[in-house]
Structures are given as structure tokens and as C-alpha cells.
């Protein structure tokens, strides 16, 4: 596209296997356990798109990729050659952010700007602030709204009423008039959910299927009769 990007910054949470790989060239998931964090979209042990990037860096050497990722499956680690590590580091720098740093970034950003970061964006900001050398602008592309992570946001902003329904948490956060504003469709949907009847099903797939089918039929018949 011609965009003059100097480097990409890989920001990880405490599941930082990808950050470690970029720094060392050693992809190692031995004795690693996946930790549940405030940023679930980057809770990973096996990166789903790393293979494609390595394939491009290695001049589309499919046999090498097969060997490396078979080794990852069988031995739970692999090491790339020094020349590939250098190529990788030409494009990427990497670091990771703790849960405490994530919450602190959400809190401080809101206090200084009135903007609420979602946890994934907070991790990106923490790492970007740490990695930048102030000689080049840094762009953080936020791809999630904080309303999806209301309990974590309320913890970060030190709001005590955490033990509420998800809809009431969203409404409480919307009362802060923060940026970005909450989606109107989300607020409307939460209103509808509060009025909807619900049923607790037994832990049986067939029972659940029957309930969903009946629900869909009732919804369809209701729409058709209108």
C-alpha cells in the first residue's frame, strides 16, 4: 500500500509466547499453561497466523514450515535459523503487559482524557509507550469496544458495583459519558434482554436443541402472524 511503516509492535498479555518468539526465534510452549486474562482474544499458545508469515519470510519454503510445525505438534517447540530471526526482527519488535499494567492504563487514560480503553487496546498502549523511542509516530488501532469487557473496566475504574447483571454494568458505564460512546443498539438490546423470559436447561445437548427449535418456531410464528 506504500504506507511508510517502520516496524510493527507485537503486544502480548501474560500469555507472551509470541513476544518471546520474536525476541529469540524459539517458539516454546513446553511447560506453558494458558492463563485466562482480561484480554481473551490474545490468550494464545499457538498463533494461528504465524505459519503464514514465516512461510513468506522463508521464501515460501513449504517443507521447512511442515518440519517446524510438525515439531511444534510433537515436541512443543521449534527454533528458526538466525537469518530468519533477523528478518523477523526487521519487521517486528515485541513486549508484553501484565494484568495490573493493563488495568492501570485503562484507569490513567480515562482520568487524563475521558477515553475508556478496552483491555486489548490497553495492552497495546502499554507496550507501545514502552517500546517507542519518540522518533516516529506510533498508531494503535483499537478494534474492540470497552462495553464487551464491563467487569474488567469497572475493576480498572475502581467501581465497586461489580456484582451486577451484564446489562446493568453496561448501563452504569454508559452513565460516565466516556469516549467512545456506547453503541445505541447494544443499549437497546440489553433493555430487551432484561424483559425477556429465560429458562435454565439441563446439561443435555438434545434438551438444548429442542428448546432452541421451539424458541425459533415461536419467534417465526409471532412474526408471521404480525
- Rounded Cα distance between 181 and 116, Å, is 9
pLDDT over 60 at 223, yes or no: no
pLDDT tens per residue across span 109-157:
999 999 999 999 999 999 999 999 889 999 998 888 998 899 999 999 9
pLDDT over 70 at 63, yes or no: yes
Least confident piece of the model among 14-23, 90-99, 170-179, 191-200: 191-200
| More confidently predicted of 84 and 177 | 84
Q: Yes or no: say if 9 and 92 are a contact pair by the CB < 8 Å rule.
A: yes
pLDDT tens per residue across span 32-53:
999 999 999 999 999 988 999 9
- Predicted TM-score (pTM) of the model is 0.80
| More confidently predicted of 63 and 194 | 63
Cα-based angle 122, 142, 161 (whole degrees, multiple of 5): 50
- Rounded Cα distance between 132 and 98, Å, is 18
Q: What are the grid coordinates assigned to 165, written together?
A: 447483571
**DSSP 3-state assignment of 57?**
helix
What's residue 162's pLDDT? 64
Amino acid at each position: 500500500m506504500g504506507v511508510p511503516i517502520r516496524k510493527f509492535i507485537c503486544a502480548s498479555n501474560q500469555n507472551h509466547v509470541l513476544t518471546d518468539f520474536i525476541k529469540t526465534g524459539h517458539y516454546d510452549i513446553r511447560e506453558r499453561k494458558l492463563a485466562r486474562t482480561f484480554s481473551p482474544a490474545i490468550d494464545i499458545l499457538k498463533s494461528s497466523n504465524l505459519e503464514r508469515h514465516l512461510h513468506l519470510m522463508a521464501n515460501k519454503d513449504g517443507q521447512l514450515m511442515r518440519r517446524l510445525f510438525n515439531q511444534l505438534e510433537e515436541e512443543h517447540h521449534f527454533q528458526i535459523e538466525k537469518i530468519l530471526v533477523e528478518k523477523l526482527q526487521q519487521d517486528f519488535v515485541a513486549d508484553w503487559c501484565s494484568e495490573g499494567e493493563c488495568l492501570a492504563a485503562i484507569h490513567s487514560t480515562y482520568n487524563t482524557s475521558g477515553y475508556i480503553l478496552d483491555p486489548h487496546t490497553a495492552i497495546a498502549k502499554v507496550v507501545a509507550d514502552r517500546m517507542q523511542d519518540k522518533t516516529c509516530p506510533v498508531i494503535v488501532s483499537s478494534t474492540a469496544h470497552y462495553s464487551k469487557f464491563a467487569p474488567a473496566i469497572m475493576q480498572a475504574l475502581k467501581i465497586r458495583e461489580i456484582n451486577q447483571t451484564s446489562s446493568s454494568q453496561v448501563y452504569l458505564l454508559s452513565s460516565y459519558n466516556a469516549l467512545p460512546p456506547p453503541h445505541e443498539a447494544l443499549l437497546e438490546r440489553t433493555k430487551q434482554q432484561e424483559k425477556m423470559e429465560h429458562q435454565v436447561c439441563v446439561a443435555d445437548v438434545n434438551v438444548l436443541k429442542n428448546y432452541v427449535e421451539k424458541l425459533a418456531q415461536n419467534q417465526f410464528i409471532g412474526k408471521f402472524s404480525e
